[in-house]
């Protein structure tokens, strides 16, 4: 497994790509309200990304048709923007990628549409709080398996389950690079495998289920749900390990 170590000037290029993602996500959060369609939101984000001299890296990636993954209610990740009109009480996840001068950005949020239930607030908070927790414990010489182990424990402690078979990942000159970073531990010993080092850049993205971790892909070949059929949530940041700690690149 070859995990790239980025030079400071390379990290700064990645920061720009990710700041554009963060700006677009902020715009979508502000525009999310009852009566707006997923396609309208997708268009808002794509227009902003292109206005900043970047391109939407998800558009055409593996055949994905749009700029933004828009995942509504029980769809946890990879939702395709449609003409669906958001309604009061919905929750929607936005996942955006960009490419800027050959460097990639990637981040995600889940937001409520109007007034949402206490249960949905807790569901969304689990994804965000797990992401914040994971970022706070990252340090050089920690193994990626240890990070996955701690993420899974944190999710379980909130009363939820991590979505399986999908994961965080490295990022840089490609949208998906080594390593894979599951939100759950696989194996017999978390003290094995590659170690985190200064200069590494990767995406942490908790994907939260309520009862069952097993995913199901819907008929459109993109929308991912849990087999429990219940709502899910998703948050993601791109981070760089700098001077012994994880620094968030995907923020305004």
pLDDT of 197-243, one tens digit each?
999 999 999 999 999 999 999 999 999 999 999 999 999 999 999 99
The CATH number of the domain where 181 resides is what?
3.90.230.10
Look at residue 3 and tell me if it is in a domain: no
Domain contains 216? yes
By CB atoms closer than 10 A (0-12, 13-18, 19+), residue 113 is buried
Q: Is residue 106 part of a domain?
A: yes
Q: Which residue has the higher pLDDT, 2 or 28?
A: 28
Q: Does 18 reside within a domain?
A: yes
| Mean pLDDT taken over the chain | 98
The answer to whether residues 120 and 91 touch, using CB atoms and an 8 Å cutoff, is: yes
This prediction's pTM? 0.97
Closest CA to 164 of 180, 176, 175, 179: 180
Q: Would you place residue 37 in the very low, low, confident or very high pLDDT band (cuts 50, 70, 90)?
A: very high
pLDDT tens for 41-70 read 999 999 999 999 999 999 999 999 999 999
Condensed to tens digits (0 to 9), the pLDDT of residues 117-155 reads 999 999 999 999 999 999 999 999 999 999 999 999 999
In the predicted structure, residue 1 carries a pLDDT above the cut 80? no
CA–CA distance, 162 with 144 (Å, rounded to integer) = 16
Enclosing domain of residue 171: 8-248
Q: Give domain status of residue 81, yes or no.
A: yes
Neighbours of 116 (CB within 10 A): 17
């Amino acid at each position: 497994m070859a995990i790239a170590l980025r030079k400071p000037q390379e990290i700064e290029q990645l920061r720009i790509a990710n700041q554009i993602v963060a700006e677009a996500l902020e715009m979508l959060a502000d525009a999310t309200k009852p009566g707006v369609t997923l396609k309208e939101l997708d268009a808002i984000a794509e227009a902003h990304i292109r206005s900043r001299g970047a391109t939407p890296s998800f558009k055409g990636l593996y055949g994905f048709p749009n700029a933004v993954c828009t995942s509504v209610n029980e769809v946890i990740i990879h939702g395709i923007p449609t003409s669906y009109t958001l309604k009061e009480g919905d929750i929607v996840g936005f996942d955006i990628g960009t490419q800027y001068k050959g460097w990639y950005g990637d981040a995600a949020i889940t937001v409520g549409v109007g007034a949402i239930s206490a249960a949905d607030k807790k569901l969304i908070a689990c994804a965000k709080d797990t992401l914040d927790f994971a970022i706070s414990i990252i340090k050089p010489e920690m193994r990626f398996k240890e990070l996955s182990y701690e993420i899974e424990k944190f999710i379980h402690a909130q009363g939820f389950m991590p979505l399986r078979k999908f994961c965080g990942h490295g990022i840089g000159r490609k949208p998906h690079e080594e390593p894979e970073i599951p939100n759950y531990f696989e194996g017999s010993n978390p003290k094995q495998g590659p170690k985190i080092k200064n200069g590494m850049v990767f995406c942490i993205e908790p994907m939260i289920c309520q009862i069952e971790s097993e995913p199901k892909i819907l008929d459109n070949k993109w929308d991912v749900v849990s087999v429990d059929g219940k709502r899910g949530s998703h948050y993601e940041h791109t981070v760089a390990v700098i001077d012994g700690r994880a620094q968030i690149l995907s923020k305004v």
